[in-house]
């Protein structure tokens, strides 16, 4: 059975492995086709990386995950089979990365006011700094242990810290400069790509969105599809499998589907590259259809 994984992160954003190390893991896990979808950057797609993947017989579909926001919540938009050299796309991604560093300074100030110590010098060196980088820095710093234990009654993981302290309506929330899902969709299409709403299952658990809310987002951004084959891990490390629900949603609304592990690192909890530690019922015909749909000209 063919293995495919179209959503993973490298050290170019908030993943742990380098792009080449991602390829090595994919080979080890029997993955034949993959897409790196780093946050707001295409830095993973160097000529050296593409040649390395080819030599390892790994098929690459270019991708990016763009952080956007509508009038209510943050939305992640995936773009597939994009021209990685598209000037307009790269210019906007560069601007978004710069806004991340402005956000870092502002949120560090806010978190300092709450009593947390943030290693701003270290985090400032990360090109595509994310909430995950900041949260991990805090929860792994022994100097924050006492306050964390007081607030959480334990040392939280980075996801729990983000959802409790950093997200909207939380004490450490700072609004980040962003673009809308529609703007991201236009950028992706202009670069020749397909537009996919990332992990729809996450919006129900993190933002209390229902299916009709997700449909409104999909329709507004004129998405080609959704990332329906996705295992969600909540703040308490519970595994949520709503794959059947979102595959049905896609079929009912004439949307293509994709599959992704959203791999950042092997923590023994989240899906591994190729989702080899999960039960995903996709046969070779399903996989070929996913690939063909993403590679089909708009």
Q: Give pLDDT tens digits for 95-130.
A: 999 898 999 999 999 999 999 999 999 999 888 898
Alpha-carbon torsion 144, 148, 150, 153, what sign? negative
31 Cβ partners below 8 Å, 6+ apart?
A: 3, 4, 5, 58, 273, 274
d(CA 178, CA 173): 15
- The last residue of one of the domains, among 134, 166, 198, is 166
User: Has residue 176 been placed in a domain?
Assistant: no
Mean pLDDT of the chain: 95
Model confidence pLDDT, tens digit, residues 80-93? 999 999 999 999 99
Give the three-state DSSP class for 139: helix
Contact 108, 137 (CB under 8 A): no
The pTM of the full predicted model, rounded to 2 decimals, is: 0.88
> pLDDT value at position 183?
97
How many angstroms separate the CA atoms of 117 and 188, rounded? 38
Within-domain flag for 175: no
pLDDT for position 51:
98
Q: What is the Cα–Cα distance from 102 to 122, expressed in whole angstroms?
A: 15
Q: Specify the higher pLDDT residue, 159 or 226.
A: 226
Say whether pLDDT at 131 is over 70.
yes
Residue 248 in any domain: the answer is yes
Residue 114 exposed, middle or buried by CB count within 10 Å (0-12, 13-18, 19+): exposed
For the CA atoms of 98, 99, 105, 111, what is the dihedral angle to 10 degrees? -140
Same domain for 133 and 230: no
Average pLDDT over residues 276-285: 92
Q: Is the pLDDT of residue 274 over 90?
A: yes
Q: Is 50 within a domain?
A: yes
Of 86, 162, 85, residue with least CA distance to 130: 162
Alpha helices in the chain (DSSP H): 19-28, 47-55, 87-113, 120-124, 131-139, 145-152, 158-161, 181-190, 200-207, 211-220, 243-252, 284-295
Looking at the fold, whether 189 and 150 belong to one and the same domain comes out as no
Min mean pLDDT across 70-79, 80-89, 252-261 is at 70-79
Domain boundary among 131, 166, 201: 166
pLDDT at residue 298, rounded to an integer: 60
* Planar angle of CA 17, 264, 204, nearest 5 degrees: 165
Q: Are residues 199 and 69 in the same domain?
A: yes
Question: Is 226 domain-assigned?
Answer: yes
- With tokens 């329906």, the residue in question is 228
pLDDT-based confidence at residue 72 (cuts at 50, 70, 90): confident
Backbone angles phi, psi at 86, to 5 degrees: -60, 125
- With a cut of 80, say whether residue 59 has pLDDT above it: yes
Phi, psi of 195 (to 5 degrees): -105, 125
Do 157 and 236 lie in a common domain?
no
Q: Are 61 and 291 in contact (CB under 8 A)?
A: yes
Is the pLDDT score of 249 beyond 70? yes
CATH number of the structural domain spanning residue 13: 3.20.20.140
**Percentage with pLDDT > 90 across the chain:** 86
Residues 115 and 43 both lie in one domain: no
Residues 68, 149, single domain; the answer is: no
Judge whether residue 176 has pLDDT over 90.
no
Quote the pLDDT of residue 212.
Answer: 96
Q: Indicate whether 179 belongs to any domain.
A: no
Same domain, 105 and 224: no
> Which domain-ending residue is among 166, 194, 213?
166
pLDDT of amino acid 26? 98
Paired tokens of 214: 């997700």
What span, in angstroms and rounded, lies between the C-alpha atoms of 57 and 55? 5
Judgement on whether residues 136 and 247 belong to the same structural domain of the protein: no
DSSP 3-state percent helix, strand, coil across the chain (nearest 5): 45, 15, 40
User: Could you tell me if 236 and 125 lie in one domain?
Assistant: no
What's the structural domain count of the chain?
2
Q: Is residue 232 part of a domain?
A: yes
In a domain, 171, yes or no: no
User: In which domain, by residue range, is 98 found?
Assistant: 93-166
pLDDT, mean of residues 168-191: 94
Return the pLDDT at 38: 97
Same domain flag for 189 and 285: yes
C-alpha distances out from residue 218 to 87, 155, 181, 224, 254, Å: 26, 37, 9, 8, 11
228 and 263 inside one domain: yes
Residues 287 and 196 in one domain: yes
């Amino acid at each position: 059975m063919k293995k495919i994984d179209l959503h993973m992160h490298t050290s170019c954003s908030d993943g742990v492995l380098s792009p080449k190390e991602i390829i090595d893991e994919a080979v080890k896990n029997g993955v034949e086709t993959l897409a790196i979808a780093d946050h707001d950057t295409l830095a993973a797609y160097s000529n050296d990386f593409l040649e390395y993947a080819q030599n390892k017989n790994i098929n690459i579909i270019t991708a990016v995950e763009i952080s956007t926001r509508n009038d209510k919540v943050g939305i992640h938009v995936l773009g597939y089979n994009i021209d990685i050299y598209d000037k307009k796309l790269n210019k906007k991604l560069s601007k978004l990365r710069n806004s991340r560093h402005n956000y870092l300074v502002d949120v560090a100030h806010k978190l300092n006011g709450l009593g947390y110590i943030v290693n701003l010098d270290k985090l400032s060196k990360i090109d595509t700094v994310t909430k995950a980088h900041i949260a991990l820095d805090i929860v792994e710093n022994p100097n924050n242990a006492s306050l964390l234990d007081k607030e959480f009654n334990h040392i939280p993981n980075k996801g729990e810290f983000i959802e409790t302290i950093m997200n909207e309506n939380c004490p450490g929330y700072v609004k980040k400069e962003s673009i809308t899902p529609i703007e991201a969709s236009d950028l992706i299409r202009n670069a020749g790509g397909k537009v996919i709403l990332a992990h729809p299952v996450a919006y129900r658990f993190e933002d209390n969105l229902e299916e009709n809310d997700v449909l409104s987002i999909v329709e507004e951004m004129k998405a080609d599809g959704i990332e329906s084959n996705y295992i969600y891990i909540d703040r308490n490390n519970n595994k949520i499998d709503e794959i059947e629900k979102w595959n049905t949603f896609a079929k009912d609304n004439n949307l293509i589907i994709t599959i992704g592990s959203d791999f950042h690192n092997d923590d023994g909890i989240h899906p591994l590259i190729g989702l080899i530690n999960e039960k995903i019922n996709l046969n070779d015909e399903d996989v070929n259809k996913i690939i063909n749909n993403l590679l089909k000209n708009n």
